[in-house]
Amino acid sequence: MPPKSLGCLAPMPRATYHNRDMPIIRPISDLRNKAAEIEELCHETGEPVFITKNGEGELVVMSVAAYERDQARLQLYQLLDEAESDLKAGDRGVSVATARRRLLKG
């Protein structure tokens, strides 16, 4: 469910990891000894793998595709936040006819 407001402090929707609510968590020793397995997990699930050190969160490892997806999502949220701010400031945008003319002009 999307947040009500997309402002900087708005809560993000609850994350769902690899078809369940729990993230993949591995100890830092697995990063040293089983890097290929962690890489495979990242690519297969499309989700980050959280690495712990002494029981505490230390790193997050993710595929480039997952990183790019998350960055695109953040950019979209920023654009939506800007649009919401414009609406609150009274900016009503342009009519469909005006937008169509602008697009056709190239």
Mind listing the pLDDT tens digit for each residue in 69-87? 999 999 999 999 999 999 8
> Which class is domain 15-62?
alpha beta
pLDDT at 4: 44
Could you state, in order of their start, the residue ranges of all structural domains in the chain? Answer: 15-62, 64-106
Q: What's the rounded Cα separation, in Å, for the pair 91 and 93?
A: 6
Q: Whole-number mean pLDDT of the chain?
A: 86
Q: What average pLDDT does this structure show over 30-57?
A: 95
Q: E strands along 3-103, which residues? A: 24-27, 49-53, 56-61
Enter the pTM of the model: 0.65
Say yes or no to pLDDT of 2 above 50.
no
Say yes or no to pLDDT of 10 above 80.
no
Q: What's the rounded Cα separation, in Å, for the pair 51 and 73?
A: 23
Q: What average pLDDT does this structure show over 53-74?
A: 96
How far, CA to CA in Å, does 70 sit from each of 56, 65, 67, 88, 89? 23, 9, 5, 27, 29
pLDDT at 3: 43
Give residue 19's pLDDT band: very low, low, confident or very high (50, 70, 90).
low
pLDDT at 22: 87
